[in-house]
Structure 1
Amino acid sequence: MAGADSLQTGWEVFVDFRLFLRDQNKGIYLVLQDANLNKMCLHGAMFEVGFDRVIPLNAFTDSSNGYLINDTCVFGAEVFVCKERRAGKAERLCAINSAMYKHPWKVYIPLKFRPEFLESKPFFAGGQTWKIRLYPKGYDKGKDTHVSLYLTLANPEPASKILTEFTLRIVDQLNGKHFFCKGCQWFSALTPSFGFSRLIAFDILKQLDKGFLVQSYCLVEAEVTVHGIFTAL
């Protein structure tokens, strides 16, 4: 894509293209195309697209194949512009080497009058602010049968997506046999919360010998590692 500096901020050009290499002996073309590459979107973070393994070098330089004759070769391009300059869709990935952060949360769960949900205080991990949300009555598929546990991005930015690996755990405070689940998700303003609707059955949670609920207190842990951030250009 040439002359991109003259285009408006957030430009995009959708193209359907083929590249050609001419066999000068036979007057025919080697057609370079790929179903996964032909219809591409060029934007501020990607000015070019193509093929890194067109033809073996020994085949290209062998004059009997007709591609290189008298130090001259012939290339061609066929380009169809499908759509131009749709702003605000290009994205940039910033990889983050963040350490895993573990956040413990001791939460009081009354047995008789369980609230719809409980939230931890905000905590900081991987440059982002998070909360743990616990549903004592269950949520979604775990409604009325399980305790549900979710990780929530507290202050999502509209144009960003956060690639996050996380573990949510309910700690067995007596026997060391914890209930936990792991996930790796893109958190964003549209989907700020991910978790597990059936983390532990409420019937198991309230059995005192199991150690998950001690004097009506439950110990929850979240392990959070941010791997990258997508932002709109």
Structure 2
Amino acid sequence: MKKPPATMNTHSWTINKVSAVTEDEVYSGVFKVGKVMWKLSLFPRGFNSGKDTHLSIFLNVHDTAAFPNDWKVYAKFKIRVKSQATKNDIEKETDNWFCNSVDNWGFPTMMTLSQLNDSKNGFLLNDDLTVEVEILGMGMLK
């Protein structure tokens, strides 16, 4: 197990024209924390238990084929949906061991679609949505 990064590692992603997204799932660009490449996935109309009622967001290990067969990566992280008008972000924290059989982890019920679309909450500014992930700690099992 390696020590987690000494500094907080935050990646911000803005999805422009969210209402025009037709895909079930969209991905952020790839970003690196420690020795691991990550990406976020977002389901604008929900996934699994959040389907058609919630915004769903997950942290994904990118390019799992680059790891050895028995790889395991631990991450403790926060995902937040930024309010661009108020400072009342929606934030959830979790941790997980990522591996071949579980290469993503997150929140199928991050927030309700009614919360997201309520203009007084300020999550959609000019139809743009900003999501952040903050990786609080990491470890690798070799």
TM-score w.r.t. the length of structure 1 is 0.56
- Of residues 101, 105, 122 in structure 1, which corresponds to 2:9? 101
Q: Is the 8 A contact 2:18 2:44 kept in 1?
A: no
Q: Is the 8 A contact 2:30 2:39 kept in 1?
A: yes
SS at match of 1:111: helix
d(CA) in 2 for partners of 1:214, 1:142: 23
Q: Which amino acid aligns with 1:128?
A: V
Q: Is the 8 A contact 2:78 2:136 kept in 1?
A: no
User: Per-residue CA shift, 1:54-79, capped at 9, x if unaligned?
Assistant: xxxxxxxxxxxxxxxxxxxxxxxxxx
Confirm whether residue 160 of structure 1 aligns to residue 71 of structure 2: yes
d(CA) in 2 for partners of 1:110, 1:123: 21
User: Highest CA radius of gyration, 1 or 2?
Assistant: 1
TM-score w.r.t. the length of structure 2 is 0.90
Partner of 1:137: 45
- Of residues 83, 86, 91 in structure 2, which corresponds to 1:180? 91
User: 1:72-221 alignment to 2 at 5 Å?
Assistant: 94-98=1-5, 99-111=7-19, 114-156=22-64, 157=67, 158-221=69-132
Moved over 6 A (4+): none
SS at match of 1:95: coil
User: Per-residue CA shift, 1:194-213, capped at 9, x if unaligned?
Assistant: 00011111111111221001
Q: Is the 8 A contact 1:165 1:224 kept in 2?
A: yes
SS at match of 1:141: helix
User: Per-residue CA shift, 1:27-55, capped at 9, x if unaligned?
Assistant: xxxxxxxxxxxxxxxxxxxxxxxxxxxxx
- How far residue 224 of structure 1 moved from its aligned partner, in angstroms, is 1.2
Root-mean-square deviation over aligned CA pairs: 1.4
Identity %, equivalent residues: 25
SS at match of 1:205: helix
Q: Which of the pair has the greater relative contact order for Cα pairs under 8 Å at 6+ separation?
A: 2
- How far residue 110 of structure 1 moved from its aligned partner, in angstroms, is 3.5
Shift in CA distance, 105/112, structure 1 to aligned 2, threshold 3 Å: closer
